[in-house]
């Protein structure tokens, strides 16, 4: 009898301890963990309310865990907003399969978002960007799955690594989209049905799946950095693009050479981006208003015919560090050429036979100027820093500018 009475007392004591451990606040049951934080163990809210917000603190402590099956609800569609502090999600905490919570919201770069990568439900909407749905493909690969509302301008946040199939499908009103540097893959039909979209691509895309652009590439104005990994992929697919900074130029890979192929007609001044190594003969033919051109230090080849289209330009600026080869601009019709500091050599007849050339500005870094540098350019004068070799060369020839 005494032994049975002892077991009754022990059971009563255990029940009292269990009751003390379980607390209720609002619509949630919770327990305090050994680390002093709280785990949500049960939701007892109104099932007719489709929006549930889990508090960041409960009972005066931080919520860090959601126990198994808490939101494993199959009766109705719910949205659950989680605090940014969740480090543990139990089995089916957000449902699974047909009972999965339809909409989960949490901070994009939060602890909760990282915890979801290993959960039964990898889909979530960032609270900072509620218009997009993201999906963890792995603990390090975060895909843009869906855009919930029709938008005109959209900038995808840093951290997204993949654009999933049909992510922007049929967003006809979308006009401007910027993808972050973290994106490395774009899947099939990601932009299906997008018309007249200006799309800025990051530099390090590694995979463009077949038909990633959707119905037709002509619907997209692609912007990416010349010479980047992305640019090489576009070239391999025969797709044209423009530089990210508005330069008014079209640049494409021709074989292994990054080439300037076209200049927009309304441009009066352009800076050809670094990385461009060649200029096609027809590149400037439409640019009747163009008067000032800055060339890159990477330029190696100017096709025959380019010089003819440069006639009438007010100035051509040669970049720092460029190597101006023999007869590079022979016969060009520009009025002014600027050679910046850093250029050390100009080859023979580089600016020979230029009847319209009035002024050549030379730097102090030049050495060993060829005698025929301006041969046949009767009106050309030279401006150079006093005391420089270029100054002495021009003075000896009597062509120093006033």
Three-state SS sequence of 314-331:
CEEECCCCCCECCCCCCC
* CATH code of the domain covering residue 169: 3.80.10
More confident residue, 306 or 183: 183
Separation of alpha carbons 101 and 78, rounded Å: 6
Q: Are residues 98 and 139 in the same domain?
A: no
Residue 153 has pLDDT above 70, yes or no: yes
Q: Is residue 58 part of a domain?
A: yes
Q: Are residues 70 and 172 in the same domain?
A: no
pLDDT, residue 182, reads: 93
Share of the chain above pLDDT 70, in %: 81
Q: Are residues 163 and 232 in the same domain?
A: yes
pLDDT, residue 21, reads: 56
Question: Please, how many CA atoms are within 13 Å of residue 102, restricted to the half-sphere of its CB?
Answer: 9
Contact status, residue 73 vs residue 97, Cβ threshold 8 Å: no
Q: What is the residue range of 237's domain?
A: 131-244
Q: Are residues 40 and 144 in the same domain?
A: no
pLDDT, residue 387, reads: 93
Q: Is residue 186 part of a domain?
A: yes
Q: Is 178 helix (H, G, I), strand (E, B) or coil?
A: strand
Mean pLDDT of 386-398: 93
Q: Are residues 137 and 176 in the same domain?
A: yes
Q: Are residues 76 and 140 in the same domain?
A: no
Q: Are residues 142 and 234 in the same domain?
A: yes
Q: Are residues 96 and 146 in the same domain?
A: no
Q: Is residue 290 part of a domain?
A: no
- What confidence category does residue 59 fall into, taking pLDDT thresholds of 50, 70 and 90? very high
pLDDT, residue 207, reads: 94
pLDDT, residue 279, reads: 79
**Which secondary structure element, helix H or strand E, spans residue 262, and what is its range?**
strand 257-263
Handedness of CA 142, 147, 148, 151 (dihedral sign): positive
Question: How many CB atoms within 10 Å of residue 262?
Answer: 19
Q: Is residue 167 part of a domain?
A: yes
pLDDT, residue 80, reads: 92
Q: Is residue 233 part of a domain?
A: yes
pLDDT, residue 18, reads: 38
Q: 76 in the Ramachandran plot: left (φ > 0), alpha (ψ -120 to 50) or beta?
A: beta
Q: Which of 244, 267, 293 is the last residue of a domain?
A: 244
Residue 224 has pLDDT above 70, yes or no: yes
pLDDT, residue 38, reads: 95
pLDDT, residue 396, reads: 93
| Chain centre to alpha carbon of residue 224 | 8
| 170-174, 211-215, 317-321, 350-354: segment of lowest average pLDDT | 317-321
Q: Is residue 348 part of a domain?
A: no
Q: Are residues 88 and 143 in the same domain?
A: no
- What confidence category does residue 9 fall into, taking pLDDT thresholds of 50, 70 and 90? very low
pLDDT, residue 11, reads: 37
Q: Which of 244, 268, 302 is the last residue of a domain?
A: 244
- What confidence category does residue 304 fall into, taking pLDDT thresholds of 50, 70 and 90? low
Average pLDDT, the chain: 80
Q: Is 153 helix (H, G, I), strand (E, B) or coil?
A: strand
Q: Is residue 175 part of a domain?
A: yes
Task: Tell me the two tokens of residue 93.
Answer: 């905490």
Handedness of CA 160, 164, 167, 168 (dihedral sign): positive
Task: Tell me the two tokens of residue 53.
Answer: 């917000």
Residue 390 has pLDDT above 90, yes or no: yes
Mean pLDDT of 123-143: 87
Q: Is residue 371 part of a domain?
A: no
pLDDT, residue 333, reads: 60
- What confidence category does residue 164 fall into, taking pLDDT thresholds of 50, 70 and 90? very high
Residue 155 has pLDDT above 60, yes or no: yes
Share of the chain above pLDDT 90, in %: 27
Report how many domains make up the chain: 2
- Of 125, 40, 43, residue with least CA distance to 81: 125
Residue 51 has pLDDT above 80, yes or no: yes
Mean pLDDT of 332-355: 79
* CATH code of the domain covering residue 69: 3.80.10.10
Q: Which of 244, 262, 278 is the last residue of a domain?
A: 244
Task: Tell me the two tokens of residue 142.
Answer: 């975060």
Separation of alpha carbons 205 and 6, rounded Å: 71
Q: Are residues 159 and 231 in the same domain?
A: yes
């Amino acid at each position: 009898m005494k032994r049975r009475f002892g077991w009754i007392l022990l059971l009563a004591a255990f029940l009292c301890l269990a009751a003390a451990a379980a607390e209720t606040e609002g619509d949630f049951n919770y327990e305090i963990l050994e680390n002093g934080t709280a785990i949500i163990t049960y939701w007892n809210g109104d099932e007719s309310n489709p929006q549930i917000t889990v508090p960041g603190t409960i009972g005066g402590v931080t919520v860090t865990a959601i126990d198994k099956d808490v939101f494993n609800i199959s009766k109705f569609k719910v949205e659950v907003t989680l605090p940014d502090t969740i480090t543990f999600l139990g089995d089916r905490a957000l449902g699974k399969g047909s009972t999965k919570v339809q909409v989960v919201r949490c901070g994009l770069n939060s602890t909760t978002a990282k915890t979801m990568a290993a959960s039964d439900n990898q889909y979530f909407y960032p609270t900072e960007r509620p218009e997009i749905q993201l999906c963890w493909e792995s603990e390090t690969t975060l895909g843009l799955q869906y855009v919930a509302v029709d938008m005109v301008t959209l900038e995808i946040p840093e951290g997204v690594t993949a654009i999933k199939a049909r992510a922007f499908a049929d967003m006809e009103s979308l006009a401007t989209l910027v993808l972050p540097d973290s994106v490395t893959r774009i899947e099939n039909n990601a932009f299906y049905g997008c018309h007249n979209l200006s799309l800025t691509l990051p530099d390090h895309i590694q995979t463009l799946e077949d038909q990633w652009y959707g119905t037709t590439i002509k619907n997209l104005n692609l912007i990416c950095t010349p010479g980047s990994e992305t640019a090489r992929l576009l070239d391999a697919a025969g797709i044209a693009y423009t530089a990210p900074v508005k330069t008014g130029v079209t640049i494409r890979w021709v074989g292994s050479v990054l080439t300037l192929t076209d200049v927009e007609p309304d441009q009066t001044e352009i800076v050809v981006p670094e990385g461009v190594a060649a200029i096609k003969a027809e590149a400037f033919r439409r640019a009747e208003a163009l008067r000032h051109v800055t060339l890159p230090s990477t330029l190696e080849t100017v096709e025959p015919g380019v010089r003819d289209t440069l006639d009438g330009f007010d100035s051509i600026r040669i970049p720092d560090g460029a190597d101006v080869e023999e007869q590079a601009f022979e016969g060009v019709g520009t009025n002014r050429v600027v050679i910046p500091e850093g250029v050390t050599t100009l080859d023979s007849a580089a600016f020979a036979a230029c009847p319209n050339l009035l002024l050549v500005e030379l730097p102090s870094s030049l050495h060993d100027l060829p005698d025929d540098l301006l041969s046949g350019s009767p009106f050309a004068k030279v401006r150079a820093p006093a005391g420089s070799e270029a100054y002495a060369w021009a003075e000896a020839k009597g062509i120093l500018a006033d």
